[in-house]
Amino acid sequence: MFQEADNNGYFIKSKSTGKTQLVDFGEMFCGTIDLTNPNAFEWYKQVVKDMLSFGFAGWMADFGGEYLPVDDTMYFDGTHAVEMHNLYSEMWARLNKEAVEEEGKMNDTFVFMRSGFGRSPGHTMTSWAGDQNVDFSYADGLASVIPAALSLGMSGMGIHHSDIGGYVSLICMVRTEELVLRWAEMNVFTPIMRTHEGNRPYRNWQIYTMDTTTESFARLTSLYHRLSPYHSFVAEETASKGIPAQRPLFLHYSDDPTTYDIQYQYMYGPDILVAPVLFEDKHDWSVYLPPDQWVYLWNGTEVVVPRSRDGTGMSVTVNAEMGNPPVFYRKGSPWSKLFQTFAKDEVKPGRTPEGLSLKLLLKEPNIFLFLLLRKMFWYVFFNV
């Protein structure tokens, strides 16, 4: 393929030599297809179509702008290399979408990518958070994917997800069972559950490392599947109204000033509030609840949160054994009957996942595998 593209002049070129500009991707030197060249665009689109003809039903359309050369770079249509840093990702997304669309595979294919720019949401089915560290860190671990999802959502990327367990292992950084399961339990309440072995699979804990891990993960995927009707509803709302699936609390509780400062909780759709556990060895967790009537998902305990004088709600502390991430739903939700079925899935402290008693400590106000529903996600894609 390289020789064919090179012979046809389909790569980005060096200004000084007029020849293909090779780029260091970290593990190899590669040519980058010049998507501003109509012939190169169509040629590469056909390569993607060929994958579909081989029976592929989806792929990670990776990169798309991260390794673009800037110095001594020449594009077919004359666009400056600095401008192309952002524009290339839009073209890359459009190429993948058009390939699938023209082959009539829109209902049968799933493509996800990490790069993007202003018009990317119109061509990207779903984004993912890239390569997180295999840890709990706020900088680039489990905690980092929450503000990433909220920021992308408010920027038009309404369907987003992350690698369960993270990806990057460096030196002493090793993925643990706890991290894998904490990440997975959070992703139950996101549009997509997708695992990744990481860049050093042999050093990282996997969902198949021990039978108990596999059993715990299987339980979480079954919970995700049980939420299918709600997942579909959220996706349809994202498509029709442009509201992201994972939302900052202030989108629904704009009168509560505290919600504007919360980055590590989110609403999943209009009715579920999620507060993922972000530290190791935690058995309880503090959750901020805006003024409303809330029900704890795992045992049905109701919490009425009155509005304080300044419009804020309150914080509560709940038991948070692995397998039961802190999740509340609005009492008046039309999905209450579905949510009530989760009360039997409580995990008792010191036991394997099967059942969690709410330890409610009201504080002063102002504190606080890859299961894919293809139809659901393509609905979003069609209606962007």
Choose the catalytic residue: 103, 131, 236, 284.
131
With beta carbons less than 8 A apart as the criterion, state whether 181 and 188 touch.
no
With beta carbons less than 8 A apart as the criterion, state whether 217 and 369 touch.
yes
Q: Tokens 């629904």 — which residue?
A: 252
User: Among residues 129, 132, 143, which one has the least CA distance to residue 280?
Assistant: 143
Geometric angle at alpha carbon 345, from 343 and 347, rounded to 5°:
110
Answer yes or no: 66 catalytic.
yes
The H or E element that residue 128 is part of is: strand 126-128
- Counting every residue written for the chain, the total comes to 384
Q: Which two tokens stand for residue 112?
A: 């996800």
User: Among residues 344, 346, 326, 244, which one has the least CA distance to residue 286?
Assistant: 326
Helices (H), the chain: 2-7, 38-53, 81-102, 145-154, 177-187, 211-226, 228-241, 336-340, 374-382
Which positions ≥6 away from 195 have C-beta within 8 Å?
163, 164, 165, 184, 207, 369, 370
Choose the catalytic residue: 6, 42, 66, 83.
66
Answer yes or no: 131 catalytic.
yes
User: Among residues 199, 195, 193, which one has the least CA distance to residue 174?
Assistant: 199
Q: Tokens 């790569």 — which residue?
A: 11
Pairing mode, strands 160-161 and 126-128: parallel
Geometric angle at alpha carbon 200, from 197 and 206, rounded to 5°:
35
Pairing mode, strands 266-268 and 246-247: antiparallel
Q: Tokens 């900052």 — which residue?
A: 248
Quick one: DSSP state of residue 202? G
Amino acid at 64: G
User: Among residues 303, 296, 302, 304, which one has the least CA distance to residue 345?
Assistant: 296
Distance CA 103, CA 49 (A): 7
Q: Which residues are catalytic?
A: 62, 66, 131
